[in-house]
Each structure stands twice: as C-alpha cells, then as structure tokens.
C-alpha cells in the first residue's frame, strides 16, 4: 500500500507500478489518499536546538509533553498551523509532522512500514508460495534474456532453450517452470526443456552456467 494525502502525487507514480511489482515481487499495489482506511496517524517531532532558542526555559515542558500529543491534534496542526503543547503555543514551522502507520502486535512479522513524512508505505512481507514460484519464473526469464543478448540474438530470432540440473537439484525451479509456463513463454516465446530432449545435430549457439535461488544449472540456446 502506498499512501499520500495528495491524489495527484499518486497519479504521478502509478506509471511505475509495473516496475515496483517486478522489483519487489508483489502482486498488487493499493494507492490511497484515505487516511482512515489506510490507518495513517500523525506525530510531531522538533529540532530541539532551533526550538530551544525560541522557547528557552519552556523547552523542557514541550519536550516532555510532545510524545503525548494525539494524532488528531497533530493533524489539526497541519491544517491550522497552530498547536498548544502543555499550554505553550507553537506555530507552523516549529514542529515537523510525520505521517506513519502504527501496526497492531498481531501484525508483527507480517507487515513492514516506512515513511518519509509525506509518503507512507506498508508492505506484506510474508512468504507466499505462489509468489515465490512467480519470482523464480521471472528470474529464469531474466537469465534467458541475458543469454540471448550475449549470443547476439535479435528479439525476433527463434531459439530453443534447454536446461540441465545436477541430479537431485532444481525441484523448485522446475515446479515454477511448469506452474508459470505462461509467464515464461510470454517473455521468451517458449518454455525451457530438459537437455535430454535436445535433438542431435542442432546448432548450439551458447551454453552457460546460471544460478537462481542458490541452485546452479546449465542453460543452453539452440537453433530450432
């Protein structure tokens, strides 16, 4: 989930959605400007060296009371530019406002959050088997694409792709190939096959050792 109070900001970053999903291996991104639905809260922090010159002897009072200022009061400060902390009036510029997400204890280990004060992110950090399979499939297609480039092939050039694993290895990657064959074929035009199925006499264009998810294997490109 990506939160920003300004819908125009979210529209500006939506074109990056495909890149984000690929890099983070996530399936869905929720863009929201709704604070209540997103669970966004507010807190205020201060540059005490700067504020100290203004408050002098009252600095300690503000410093002690500021952590207890409610989210609603800080939000009101954003809207009005005024807030009273332990009876001491502060105006716009005296405090820095941060937006953040406060996750319940039950969400510990399930989600991670981050903020730069304006943008708030929440990321599902659980491992999902189907997404892990998709990641492996994308990793494989990336290796094939690199190998095609290394062999000097054009996007329109047809080649057969073969793999060779050491005995007893590669089970997860092979499973990902079967389950997500459509993803692989859509990108590289065919699904890799076992090197044992390679027909004799076909020209080997390039062969190179690859590594995906700590598993090493051979990848070959062959003329059809």
Per-residue pLDDT of 186-205, as tens digits, reads 888 889 999 999 998 899 99
Q: Is the pTM of this model over 0.85?
A: no
Q: Which residues fall within 8 angstroms of residue 194, CB to CB, at 6 or more apart?
A: 162, 163, 164
CB 183 within 8 A of CB 152: no
Predicted pLDDT of residue 59: 92
Rounded Cα distance between 107 and 117, Å, is 22
Q: For residue 112, what are its two tokens?
A: 């991670």
Compute the average pLDDT of residues 24-34. 89
Number of continuous H segments (helices) and E segments (strands) in the chain: 9, 12
Rounded Cα distance between 122 and 30, Å, is 10
Tell the residue number behind the tokens 């690929």, with chain if given. 22
Compute the average pLDDT of residues 28-43. 91
Per-residue pLDDT of 132-165, as tens digits, reads 888 899 899 999 999 999 999 998 899 999 999 9
Predicted pLDDT of residue 127: 81
Q: For residue 101, what are its two tokens?
A: 């997400």
Predicted pLDDT of residue 130: 78
Angle of the 181-188 helix axis to the 171-179 helix axis, nearest 10? 80
Predicted pLDDT of residue 178: 92
Report whether pLDDT(13) > 90.
yes
Compute the average pLDDT of residues 29-37. 91
């Amino acid at each position: 989930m990506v939160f920003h109070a300004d819908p125009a900001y979210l529209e500006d970053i939506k074109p990056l959605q495909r890149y984000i999903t690929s890099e983070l291996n996530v399936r869905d991104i929720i863009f929201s400007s709704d604070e209540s639905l997103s669970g966004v809260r507010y807190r205020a922090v201060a540059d005490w060296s700067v504020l100290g010159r203004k408050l002098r002897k009252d600095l300690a009072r503000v410093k002690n009371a500021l952590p207890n200022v409610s989210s609603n009061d800080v939000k009101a400060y954003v809207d009005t530019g005024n807030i009273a902390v332990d009876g001491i009036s502060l105006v716009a510029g005296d405090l820095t406002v941060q937006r953040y997400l406060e996750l319940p204890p039950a969400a510990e280990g399930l989600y991670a959050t981050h903020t730069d004060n304006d943008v708030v992110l929440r990321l599902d950090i659980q491992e999902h088997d189907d997404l892990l399979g998709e990641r492996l499939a994308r990793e494989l297609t990336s290796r094939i694409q690199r190998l095609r480039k290394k062999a000097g092939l054009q996007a329109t050039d047809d080649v057969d792709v073969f793999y060779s694993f050491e005995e007893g290895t590669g089970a997860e990657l092979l499973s990902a190939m079967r389950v997500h064959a459509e993803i692989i074929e859509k990108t590289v035009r065919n699904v890799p096959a076992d090197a044992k199925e390679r027909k004799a006499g076909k020209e080997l264009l390039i062969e190179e050792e690859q590594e995906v998810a700590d598993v090493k294997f051979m990848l070959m490109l062959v003329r059809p």
